Copies of this chain bind each other. A is one copy, B any other.
Amino acid sequence: MFSDLTDPILKSAAEMPLVPIDRQTSLGELAYASLKEAIVRGEFSAGQKLTVRAVAQALEVSTTPARDAIMRLIGEGALVNAGPKTVIVPPLTKAALDEVTAIRLVLEALAAKIAAANISPETIDRLKTLQSQINSALDAGNYSAALKANKAFHFLIYQTANMPRLTAMIESLWVRIGPSLNDLYPEFATSRVGVSNHMEAIAGLESRDAARVQAAIEKDIRDGYRRLATRVG
């Protein structure tokens, strides 16, 4: 890895294919990723309290990285303060779901629209592969894998829009409803409404029909909303 950096053929830094100078892999970063994934997977029940020391002990790190992770997730809305010294996994209220859905509709529609203009055949192939993975997971009753593949499907589209800030904002919205998505099993697994929306999105991307892709994504979000709404209302 990165052996090409010393390749004499490389003339200037401007020619380098990618320079995503992201955050380094610190303990705080790992704690954040680990805690976030646990939240999205629904490992914590809504309203459960999280303390710095408890997280630190569970992750076998000191309080500093644990505190970093918690504070960062609070900033993203994945955790909330229920009191001055009380951090909980926020229950998904109807009001929160409505608001997040309204934002998702405009943000993901925007990403889908722009993605339609930037789509490549390779990406379409990968989308089809991901969709087959979703189908396989549903067939096998592996709901967790289906959710993961579903997320990968959506974000592969959004990343195609080449708008990293937009993608990050959408991701923060997904984290807020992720835990509740896990509660939907096995309803989601049996209904499979999302499949047709995904196929429609792929068809729209293939024909570079931005409006069609946008409509498919919006319908997918609305279909998901209806299921979630029954659980929080």
Chain B residues in 8 Å Cβ range of A84: 21, 24
Chain B residues in 8 Å Cβ range of A82: 21
Please state the number of chain copies in the assembly. 2
> What's the minimum C-beta distance from A108 to chain B, rounded to whole angstroms?
10
- Taken together as a complex, chains A and B put the C-alpha atoms of A109 and B107 apart, in Å, by 12
Chain B residues in 8 Å Cβ range of A72: 71-72, 75
Chain B residues in 8 Å Cβ range of A165: 77, 96, 99-100, 103
Question: How many residues on chain A are close to B (CB under 8 Å)?
Answer: 30
* Residue A54 CB within 8 A of the other chain: no
- Taken together as a complex, chains A and B put the C-alpha atoms of A110 and B105 apart, in Å, by 10
Chain B residues in 8 Å Cβ range of A211: none
> What's the minimum C-beta distance from A127 to chain B, rounded to whole angstroms?
23
- Taken together as a complex, chains A and B put the C-alpha atoms of A163 and B75 apart, in Å, by 16
Task: Please encode chain A, from 73 to 115, with 1 for each CB lying within 8 Å of some chain B CB and 0 for all others.
Answer: 0011100011110000000000010011011001101100010
Q: Which residue of B lies closest to A83 (CB)?
A: B21
| B99–A103 CB distance below 8 A | no
> What's the minimum C-beta distance from A114 to chain B, rounded to whole angstroms?
8
| A102–B96 CB distance below 8 A | no
| A106–B102 CB distance below 8 A | no
* Residue A56 CB within 8 A of the other chain: no
> What's the minimum C-beta distance from A126 to chain B, rounded to whole angstroms?
23
Which listed residue, B71, B96, B100, B168, touches A68 by the CB 8 Å rule? B71
- 18 contacting pairs across A/B (C-beta < 8 A): A21-B81, A72-B72, A72-B75, A75-B76, A77-B165, A96-B165, A99-B163, A102-B114, A102-B163, A103-B107, A103-B110, A103-B165, A103-B166, A103-B169, A106-B106, A106-B109, A106-B110, A169-B169
Q: Which residues of A contact B (CB under 8 A)?
A: 21-24, 68, 71-72, 75-77, 81-84, 96, 99-100, 102-103, 106-107, 109-110, 114, 163-166, 168-169
Besides the known contacts A75-B75, A99-B164, 14 further A-B residue pairs in the complex with CB atoms under 8 A apart: A21-B82, A21-B83, A21-B84, A24-B84, A68-B71, A72-B75, A100-B165, A102-B114, A103-B110, A103-B163, A103-B165, A103-B169, A106-B107, A107-B107
